[in-house]
Amino acid sequence: MNKIPYQYIQNDLLTTPQKYQISSYEGPGFLTSYQFSRRKIITELKKMPDFISYSDNLFSSQHVSDACMIIKKNKFSTNELYRSIVIELINNTRNIQVIPIIDKFLKKFEIRKKIFLYYDYKFNKVGDEFKEIQNYILLSFLCLIRYQVTSDLKYLNTFLKLNDTICSVKNLVVNKIDISLFHFLLMSEMKYVLKLLDELGIWLE
């Protein structure tokens, strides 16, 4: 059924990022491999013992500071910032104050394909640790929210790359929130990608 593996998740993309700019389109077979790979991981996530269906209530018990206050610190936690923005956008998807922050981190990911644990108020990384998988899941979620509101393909593009990165190290997705949220992200990704392909008149094999 799956003649060729989906190439972008064959290696650990946290350690060795994929250089998408030199990639070439490989035809419908590539898209079929992509779909097969994603559906396989979706099934694996759903079978995990801690799996629960996603709902916004996953974040309802979390109390975090205002995002615009967090980024003024000399050193701030990326995870705290992302969770703050997620909660703010769940409450108001059109919150314009956090959009420049999302776009800043989107650009940073596109350049280095890494999300560091800490940054300073100038958005420079503090330290070299970048393997906290929840940060990639949360930024992916933020891209999804922005794509749903704007239909801007830049968000879908980064959304796909983040999900490739997470899929390449899916063994790190182990806690309840991460499992639930990542399952939801992949389900959403498939819906929007297939819709876009249909609009472009591209059908999978």
d(CA 131, CA 35): 26
d(CA 100, CA 106): 10
Give the chain's mean pLDDT: 91
d(CA 45, CA 35): 15
Name the phi and psi angles at 43, rounded to 5: -65, -45
d(CA 51, CA 155): 26
Residue 61 pLDDT: 65
Confirm if 18 and 164 have CB atoms less than 8 A apart. yes
Strand 118-119 to 76-77 pairing: antiparallel
Residue type, 19: K
pLDDT for 118-127, tens place per residue?
999 999 999 9
* Band of pLDDT at residue 58, cut at 50, 70 and 90: confident
Least confident of 22-31, 157-166, 168-177: 22-31
Q: What are the C-alpha distances in Å from 162 to residues 37, 133, 141?
A: 15, 10, 10
d(CA 81, CA 71): 8
State the CB neighbour count (10 A cutoff) for residue 20.
13
| 57 CB burial (10 A radius; 0-12, 13-18, 19+) | exposed
Confirm if 97 and 84 have CB atoms less than 8 A apart. no
Least confident of 60-69, 147-156, 157-166, 185-194: 60-69
Strands (DSSP E) found in the chain: 76-77, 118-119
pTM: 0.93
